Amino acid sequence: MSLILAIDTCTRRASIALRDGSVLRAELTWEAQRQETAFISARIQEMLRACHVQPSDLDAIAVAIGPGSFTGVRAGLAIGKGLALVHGLPMIGLTAFDVLAAAQPHHDLPMLVLLEAGRARVAVCRYEWQGATPAAASEWWIQDWRTLLSTLEPPLWVCGEMPAEFIELAQQRVMVAPPALCLRRAGFLADLAYERWKNGDVSDAFSLAAIYPAEA
């Protein structure tokens, strides 16, 4: 039975999940508020104990590699690498954009996926549907919220981390995902990572690197 541990600490919301070959065994998402290092290891241990799983039972570690805050991304990656090195496990790194995109329902609209970037900025990546799967259609970029709002034109689906005032104004222009679909969940990270793991698309702990917004 394959077991994937997924860790996402890219922004102020952190999430962890445990998935086997067919079932999402456990998931926890919370407001970390930049305190990932203090709590993430303990909560991983609690989740594994609740599922009667030992770290040595794991087959791979999945980590969201960014973009996000320097402290947040580094915390999740360091914890994931530590587990991988101690237990000789492969790692799978995916962007936080991919995790959010995977949560969206299938539709025909192009999609913008948004992440907090600090200093009143947003990290943006455009996705388009390839069959039933969303795929990045551009390199991601950094923009301020006001400029991004001025560029929104239908048809368009927008999802991800957004301040309330941006949501209110964006809804007057384009389709905005409901709150439940804007919460970045490690269960989706685990699903994506499981497919890569099955196909042998993995990294080792030494080569997996984080990505950060410019001047973050």
Q: Summarize pLDDT for 40-52 with one digit per residue, the tens.
A: 999 999 999 999 9
Helix then strand count (H, E) for the chain reads 6, 11
Query: What SS3 class is residue 184?
Result: coil
**Domain co-membership, 176 together with 111:** yes
Domain holding 138, by residue range, is: 104-181
Q: How far apart are CA 189 and CA 184, in angstroms?
A: 9
**Domain co-membership, 21 together with 73:** yes
**Domain co-membership, 110 together with 177:** yes
From the centroid of its chain, how far is CA 79? 16
pLDDT at residue 163 is higher than 80: yes
Q: How far apart are CA 177 and CA 106, in angstroms?
A: 12
- 90 assigned to some structural domain: yes
Closest residue by Cα to residue 81 from 115, 116, 40: 40
CATH number at residue 189: 3.30.420.40
Closest residue by Cα to residue 213 from 11, 77, 57, 31: 11
pLDDT at residue 34 is higher than 80: no
**Domain co-membership, 12 together with 85:** yes
- 211 assigned to some structural domain: no
pLDDT value of position 216: 40
91-94 and 111-118 beta bridge pairing? unpaired
pLDDT at residue 215 is higher than 60: no
**Domain co-membership, 88 together with 188:** yes
Tally the domains of the chain. 2
Buried b (16+ CB within 10 A) or exposed e, 34-60: eebbeebbebbeebbeeeebeeeebbb
- 80 assigned to some structural domain: yes
First to last CA, the chain: 40
**Domain co-membership, 152 together with 189:** no
pLDDT at residue 166 is higher than 50: yes
Q: Summarize pLDDT for 96-152 with one digit per residue, the tens.
A: 999 999 999 999 899 999 998 888 899 999 999 999 999 999 999 999 999 999 999
**Domain co-membership, 189 together with 128:** no
pLDDT at residue 38 is higher than 80: no
Q: 88: how many CB neighbours lie within 10 A of its CB?
A: 9
**Domain co-membership, 44 together with 59:** yes
pLDDT value of position 18: 98
Q: Summarize pLDDT for 8-22 with one digit per residue, the tens.
A: 999 989 999 999 999
pTM, two decimal places: 0.95
